Amino acid sequence: MTFIKKTLTSSIALAAATLMATGAQAEMSDGEIRIGYLADMSGTYRDLAGPGGLEALRMAVEDVGGSINGAPIEVFSADDRNSADVGANTVREWFDTRNVDLVAGLVASSVTIAATRVIEENNGLGIVSGSAASSITNEHCTPNHIHWVYDTYPLANGTAKAIVDQGGDTWFMLTADYAFGHALEGDVTRVVEENGGEVVGGVRHPFPTDDFSSYILQAQGSGAKIIGLANAGADTVNAINTASQFGVVQSGQQLAGLLVFLNDVYAMGLETTQGLLLTTGWYWNMDEEAREWAERYYERVGRMPTMVQAGIYSSTKHYLDTVAELGTDDPVAVRAALGEKPINDFFSRNGRVREDGRMVHDMFLAEVKSPEASEHEWDLYEILATIPAEEAYRPLSESQCQLVQN
């Protein structure tokens, strides 16, 4: 299989190279490279990706000079308002009327699943940077999209395993009552049990919920050492805030935020979040390369980038570099070429794109700093450990993706 694919890709690359010699511009569809950025620009996930992500994408475009082989790169964007309807329709329209070459951004999982269906139908290319659901490259995988930054599998794998190893072996799960929450809860339960821990109870709360007091009280009553938060965004923030009001940490229990982003920690403040363990795909202050890019971003946006925003830059840059190498923006050729080369840059370490579309790369276990240890406004995490790329993500042997031959 791999052999056939390799031969196929190299023959495509060869064909592309031959064509490049005869006139590159002809190979860019309509003589333009069109990138559509679809994200939540006004709702819950605005700070996670939103306008900042669009700016990161523009940075990538500027860094390749705004055009490739004379073909200008056009960027347009739309707000999906976290609605699968709006998202799918926007993408469909981009294909029907604007001939979009790459759909980038893609945040809320439900929007992503709907949008990638449309991308597949039109045989285009999508790179998902914001979504959490691991199902996007599992049962919902398509040959036409890549999932770049993270998913729920390493979140459970990283955070839950580290906590059980530290002795946090009894868990109470607070789960958002929808597919994403259930999936995360399942992943966490598996990891906890595999490592000798036990999930002693849990509650599934409606999505979204403002008032977590009742659930926190149940968690306190359960006697579990760890309260696992299998939810996201505002729900996680609310749960953590409520837990701090009810003195959860003082009474000897610990919170495990499974999907916590830089912007969440920033919004809640270190006083509330200190000591929280989390898994992240990237952190702006993790090394020199990351810092350098983050500071460029900071100058333009005025906030430090989240891993999603960094991932949007990284994926777009890789896409554009690949287009430049191949001399074509043909989605099939670009997708194949992306699967052939290692993905390494300021964002991704030991990365590669698997046949199910998952971009696996090193993930990091981090701890939120205490207010005393933090040196400035954005000095929020300490990186504790690296989770190697090949261990972090769901192994292909467990995959339900129809592109993977098991």
Partner 1 sequence: MTMIFGVPLAVFMGQLLLGLINGAFYALLSLGLAVIFGLLKIVNFAHGAMYMLGAFATLLGMRYLGINYWAALLLAPLVVGLFGMLLERTMLRRIAHLDHLYGLLLTFGLALIFEGTLVNFFGVSGARYPTPEALQGGFQTGFMFLPTYRAWVLVAAIVVCFFTWYMIERTRLGAYLRAGTENPALMQAFGVNVPLLITLTYGFGVALAAFAGVLAAPLYPVSPTMGSNLLIVVFAVVVIGGMGSILGAVLTGLGMGLIEGLTKVYYPEAANTVIFLVMILVLLTRPAGLFGKEA
Partner 2 sequence: MSATQTLTPSMKRQRRADMRRNVFYLVLIGIGLVAPFVAYPVFLMKVLCFALFACAFNLLLGYAGLLSFGHAAFLAIGGYVTGYLLSSHPALTPELGILAGTLAAVALGAVFGALSIRRQGIYFAMVTLALAQLVFFVFVQSPFTGGEDGLHGVPRGDLFGVISLRSNLAMYYFVFAIFLFGFAIIQRAVHSPYGQVLKAIRENEPRAVSLGYNVDAYKWVAFVLSAGLAGLAGSTKTVVFQLASLTDAHWHMSGEVILMTLLGGVGTLFGPVVGAGIVVSLQHLLAQSPLGNWVGPILGVIFVICVLSFRSGIVGEILKSYRKNFK
List residues near partner 2 by CB under 8 A.
Answer: 41-42, 76-79, 81, 83-86, 88-90, 92-93, 96-97, 109-110, 113-114, 117-118, 133, 177-180, 206-207
Long-range contacts of 134-137 (CB under 8 A, 24+ apart): 134/183, 134/187, 134/394, 135/109, 135/179, 135/183, 136/109, 136/112, 136/357, 137/354, 137/356, 137/357, 137/358, 137/401
Would you say 120 or 367 has its CB closer to partner 2?
Answer: 120
Measured distance CA(277)–CA(230) in Å, rounded: 14
Would you say 51 or 67 has its CB closer to partner 2?
Answer: 51
From the list partner 1, partner 2, none, pick the one residue 76 interacts with, judged by a Cβ distance below 5 to 8 Å according to partner type: partner 2
Would you say 94 or 215 has its CB closer to partner 1?
Answer: 215
Compose the 63-82 pattern: x for residues touching partner 1 by CB under 8 A, - for all others. Answer: --------------------
Would you say 133 or 216 has its CB closer to partner 2?
Answer: 133
Name the minimum Å distance from CB 23 to partner 1: 47
Query: Max CA-CA distance within the chain?
Result: 73
Name the minimum Å distance from CB 221 to partner 1: 4
Q: Following DSSP, what letter does each residue of 318-337 receive, concatenated?
A: HHHHHHHHHT---HHHHHHH
Measured distance CA(239)–CA(246) in Å, rounded: 11
From the list partner 1, partner 2, none, pick the one residue 194 interacts with, judged by a Cβ distance below 5 to 8 Å according to partner type: none
From the list partner 1, partner 2, none, pick the one residue 274 interacts with, judged by a Cβ distance below 5 to 8 Å according to partner type: none
Q: Is 19 in the site for partner 1 (CB under 8 A)?
A: no
Compose the 44-63 pattern: x for residues touching partner 1 by CB under 8 A, - for all others. Answer: x-xx----------------
Neighbouring C-beta atoms of residue 106, cutoff 10 Å = 33
Q: Is 251 in the site for partner 1 (CB under 8 A)?
A: yes
Question: With contacts defined by CB under 8 A, how many residues of the chain interact with partner 1?
Answer: 34
Would you say 256 or 268 has its CB closer to partner 1?
Answer: 268
Q: Are 240 and 265 in contact (CB under 8 A)?
A: no
- Residues of span 150-209 touching partner 1 by CB under 8 A: 177, 203-206, 208-209
Among 59, 268, 336, 359, binds partner 1 (CB under 8 A): 268
CA atoms within 13 A on the CB side of 369: 16
Measured distance CA(104)–CA(101) in Å, rounded: 10
Would you say 131 or 272 has its CB closer to partner 1?
Answer: 272
Q: Following DSSP, what letter does each residue of 60-100 receive, concatenated?
A: HHHHTTSEETTEEEEEEEEE-TT-HHHHHHHHHHIIIII--
Q: Is 238 in the site for partner 1 (CB under 8 A)?
A: yes
Measured distance CA(161)–CA(273) in Å, rounded: 20
Measured distance CA(329)–CA(101) in Å, rounded: 7
- Smallest CA-to-CA distance from 259 within 228, 235, 231 is with 231
Measured distance CA(50)–CA(94) in Å, rounded: 19
Interface contacts to partner 1, rule CB under 8 A:
42-44, 46-47, 177, 203-206, 208-211, 213-215, 217-218, 220-221, 233-234, 237-238, 241, 245-247, 251, 263, 267-269
